[in-house]
Amino acid sequence: MKRTYMLALAWLAIGIGIGIGSSAHAASTPTTDQLEAHPWQLTRATDAQGKRIDALFVRGRAPYTLRFQPGYMSELNLCNQASSHYHLQDDRLILESGIRTTALCINPKVDAQERRAETLFHGRDTAPTLALDDTGALVVRNAKGEVLVFKPAPLPAK
């Protein structure tokens, strides 16, 4: 029994040493093809202190969603819709020439969600970084230390 336990520990140490089991934090820079393959729905958002950004989640509404199409990134499921030209510069998301509709948000929670979403990508800060984690989620980190996790969603039916 003791020999089996020691042998298992040795194999575990060897496996970790060569990278087996160490992919829990593996990440890769997404390509435009990967970004444009489907919409991305927000599943988790934390501030620099690791606290959940509650304003980005409104009960009973579809999640805040990013949709990448050739040359454009749209922000969906807010009170207003927004779209910007985008391109990638290494792992950085560069947004330019954005437009946004200007409808009045009647629901105060949706209004708060939209105002908070505006600060994520569209500030004077440096461009956010993008990564795909080992589960296929899109992880966005901005200069303020906020971390957003978006899961891939199916494309709408035509």
Question: Do the domain assignments include residue 42?
Answer: yes
Global confidence as pTM: 0.79
Reply yes or no on whether the pLDDT at 6 is more than 90: no
Number of domains composing the chain:
1
Band of pLDDT at residue 132, cut at 50, 70 and 90 = very high
65-82 pLDDT tens trace: 999 999 999 999 999 988
Question: Do the domain assignments include residue 9?
Answer: no
Question: Do the domain assignments include residue 5?
Answer: no
Reply yes or no on whether the pLDDT at 158 is more than 70: no
Question: Do the domain assignments include residue 33?
Answer: yes
End-to-end CA distance of the chain: 60
Question: Do the domain assignments include residue 32?
Answer: yes
Q: Which domain holds residue 73?
A: 24-152
Question: Do the domain assignments include residue 4?
Answer: no
Question: Do the domain assignments include residue 6?
Answer: no
- Please report, for the domain that includes residue 80, its CATH number: 2.40.128.270
Label each residue of 81-145 as H, E or C: CEEEEEEEECCEEEEEEEEECCCCCCCHHHHHHHHHHHHHHCCCCCCCEEEEECCCCEEEECCCC
Question: Do the domain assignments include residue 78?
Answer: yes
